[in-house]
Amino acid sequence: MKSKHVKTLMVPLSEYAVVSEDANLFEAVLALEKAQTEYEKSRYTHRAILVQNKSGKIIGKLSQLDVLMALEPKYKKIGGMKSDSNPGFSTDFLKNLMSQYRFWDSPMGDIHNKAHQIRVKEAMYAPVAGEIVDESATLDQAIHQLVTGKHQSLLVTRKGDIVGILRLVDVFKEVFEQIKALAHKNIQ
């Protein structure tokens, strides 16, 4: 693993969905859909949108989950409901919570208006240090960051600027390919 570097597995910005912080959620989802259809290196589609400021610098990330949470603003009342913040909640508790806060009680037809009104900068999040890795880092260093941070991806930098994204699915595929290659070598 140490011989491979992050830059060999990262998806460059040019092949990823990138939108302005002033775009609305509808525009962001369209950009994601376009990137998914154009990205042919992997059978795995992109699951996030990178957000850039007016200067073109990447300042954040918008996941599919972030979009869904933004479309139902009542999630903010209970602190977001990220998976690592509510481990072990029972199905009954979650149903009661949904009933109490009346999540998704407005008609789904209104979702179109919400998607056009909500700006990406309202729903995105700025990555923390543990979600950023230099392109020259070794794959084992990146795996350590992915595992310890429980991240689905890491933003890849070159001289401090974000130049791509390293996805967990691509790292797992690489590890799996190495396992298969070693197994094949041991059989011979």
Of 66-70, 141-145, 182-186, the least confident? 182-186
- CA–CA separation, 117 and 120 (whole Å): 10
Confidence of residue 74 (pLDDT cuts 50, 70, 90): low
Confidence of residue 100 (pLDDT cuts 50, 70, 90): low
Cα atoms in the Cβ-side hemisphere of radius 13 Å centred on 84: 4
3-state secondary structure of 118: coil
- Model pTM? 0.77
Q: Is residue 102 part of a domain?
A: yes
What's the confidence (pLDDT) of residue 79? 58
- What would the two tokens of residue 41 be? 């290196």
Confidence of residue 83 (pLDDT cuts 50, 70, 90): very low
What's the confidence (pLDDT) of residue 42? 59
Beta bridge partners of 106: none
Q: Where are the alpha helices (DSSP H) in 2-161?
A: 6-9, 25-38, 64-71, 91-101, 111-117, 120-123, 139-149
Of 137-146, 148-157, 174-183, the least confident? 174-183
pLDDT value at 2 more than 90 = no
- Exposed/middle/buried for residue 152 (C-beta within 10 Å: 0-12, 13-18, 19+): middle
Q: Is residue 1 part of a domain?
A: no
- CA–CA separation, 5 and 137 (whole Å): 6
Give the H or E element holding residue 153. Answer: strand 153-158
What's the confidence (pLDDT) of residue 175? 93
Q: Is residue 182 part of a domain?
A: yes
- CA–CA separation, 62 and 57 (whole Å): 15
CA 172 to chain centre: 16
Of residues 168, 134, 162, the one with CA closest to residue 47:
168
- CA–CA separation, 146 and 171 (whole Å): 9
Give the total number of structural domains in the chain: 1
Give the chain's mean pLDDT. 83
Q: Supply the range of the domain harboring residue 12.
A: 6-187
CATH code of the domain in which 85 resides = 3.10.580.10
User: For the chain, what's the residue count?
Assistant: 188
Q: Name residues whose C-beta falls within 8 Å of residue 49's C-beta, 6 or more positions apart in sequence.
A: 17, 18, 19, 28, 29, 31, 32, 61, 62, 63, 120
pLDDT value at 87 more than 60 = no
